[in-house]
């Protein structure tokens, strides 16, 4: 079977799913689960992602999110690599955490008159019911802490992550972002869980599609007209040859590399020297470290590439120097670096 292409464009909505290697756990305790949410939040802030729904189970996760910028591939690379490193460090493990390639299914927005996104949001939120962890009677989906029901839709705006698109999500279900509207959103899910067998709840077919079938062998979740629009926009049918053609086009060029080039250009203008000149070792000169810090905090390019761009030799050196630069007291920095760090701090968690 050919791999489905990663189609990226501004405003794209995706259903993302990844399982543990050999279906083994990706989290082992609540500390790991909290780290998942923290790392997801960092990825969303780096990529400006907007999440409609998420759920974390012991050996897999699901996300429904929108990418305002065409940066899914860069963001997911950073997210899964960062989470793997952190879990391995916490649990003294090594090697792969996830099994194979993550699934990325394009989703039709409900603005087109269908209900594909709302169906997906429900499907994701009802995962704990299908797993037998919630029944909607004795236990509510609010009792399962590791999904966006408990951590976002069940909370007021000031108590939930800013990267969650709860207000928009509630509006899709004709609910307001009020205490009453949020209760209604959760009550509907609990009633569904209580009234249908656990193994079937949330499994809704659309035009001979199912969410399970799209995860197994599909590349989009939407109407035939949505598929035709994507094919017309990105050219040809999705075949092995087209997969290869798409991957060689501008569509698959790294958005984060483009953003990295912009940061380098901004640095050259700001510091009045080319990057080649900034790369030359000068005792006590932190300007190239400041550029590396901005690249590390605003993009998801690998630290090896940052080392190459800035002349900091190795990824380990980048990691160490960037961390120290971020922790330095403002009074210890030259004035031009204070302003640089303040200007870029809005991109930092």
The DSSP code sequence of 99-149 is: -SPPEEEEE--GGGS--HHHHHHHHHHTHHHHTTS--SSSS-GGG--SBHI
Q: Which candidate, 138, 143, 164, places its Cα nearest to that of 153?
A: 164
Instruction: Kindly report the average pLDDT of the chain as a whole number.
Output: 86
Q: Give the chain's domains with CATH numbers.
A: 12-251 (3.30.70.1290), 255-347 (1.10.1750.10)
Task: Please give the backbone phi and psi of residue 115, each rounded to the nearest 5 degrees, phi first.
Answer: -135, 45
* Per-residue pLDDT, 272: 86
Is the per-residue pLDDT at 254 higher than 70? no
| Overall average pLDDT of the 282-309 stretch | 86
Judged on CB neighbours under 10 Å (0-12, 13-18, 19+), 162 is exposed
CA distance 189 to 193: 6
Q: Are 222 and 106 in contact (CB under 8 A)?
A: yes
| Overall average pLDDT of the 143-159 stretch | 97
| Overall average pLDDT of the 155-172 stretch | 96
- Residue 37: strand, helix, or coil: helix
* Cα angle 339-302-59, degrees, rounded to a multiple of 5: 115
Q: What share of the chain is helix, strand, coil (3-state, %, to 5)?
A: 55, 10, 35
Is the per-residue pLDDT at 251 higher than 60? no
Instruction: Please list the residues that pair with 55 across neighbouring strands.
Output: 62, 147
Report field, pTM of the whole predicted structure over 0.95: no
Question: Among 54-68, 238-252, 266-280, where is mean pLDDT lowest?
Answer: 238-252
| Overall average pLDDT of the 325-348 stretch | 82
- Helix (H) / strand (E) element for 162: namely none
Is the per-residue pLDDT at 1 higher than 60? no
Percentage above 90 pLDDT, the chain? 53
């Amino acid at each position: 079977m050919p791999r489905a292409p990663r189609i990226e464009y501004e405003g794209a909505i995706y259903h993302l799913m990844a399982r543990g290697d050999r279906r083994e756990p990706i989290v082992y305790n609540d500390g790991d689960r909290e780290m998942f949410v923290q790392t997801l939040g960092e990825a969303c802030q780096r990529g400006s992602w907007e999440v409609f729904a998420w759920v974390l189970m012991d050996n897999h996760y699901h996300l429904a999110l929108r990418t305002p910028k065409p940066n899914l591939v860069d963001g997911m690379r950073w997210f899964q690599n960062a989470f793997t490193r952190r879990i391995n460090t916490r649990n003294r493990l090594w090697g792969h955490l996830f099994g194979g390639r993550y699934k990325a299914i394009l989703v039709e927005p409900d603005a087109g008159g269908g209900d594909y996104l709302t169906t997906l949001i429900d499907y994701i939120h009802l995962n704990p019911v299908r797993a037998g962890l919630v029944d909607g009677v004795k236990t509510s989906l609010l009792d399962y802490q590791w999904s966006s029901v408990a951590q976002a839709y069940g909370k007021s705006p000031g108590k939930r992550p800013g990267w969650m698109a709860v207000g928009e999500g509630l509006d899709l279900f004709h609910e307001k972002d009020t205490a009453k509207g949020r209760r209604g959103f959760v009550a509907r899910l609990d009633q569904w869980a209580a009234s249908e067998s656990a193994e079937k709840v949330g499994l809704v077919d659309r035009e001979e599609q199912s969410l399970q079938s799209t995860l197994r062998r599909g590349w989009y979740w939407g109407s035939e007209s949505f598929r035709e629009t994507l094919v017309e926009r990105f050219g040809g049918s999705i075949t092995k040859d087209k997969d290869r053609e798409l991957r060689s086009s501008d569509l698959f060029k790294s958005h984060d590399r483009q953003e990295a080039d912009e940061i380098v250009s901004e640095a050259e203008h700001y510091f009045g020297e080319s990057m080649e000149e900034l790369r030359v070792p000068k005792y006590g000169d932190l300007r190239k470290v400041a550029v590396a810090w901005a690249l590390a905090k605003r993009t998801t390019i690998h630290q090896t590439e940052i080392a190459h761009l800035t002349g900091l030799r190795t990824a380990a050196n980048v990691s160490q120097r960037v961390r120290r630069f971020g922790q330095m007291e403002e009074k210890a920095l030259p004035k031009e670096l204070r302003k640089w760090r303040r200007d870029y701090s809005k991109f930092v968690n």
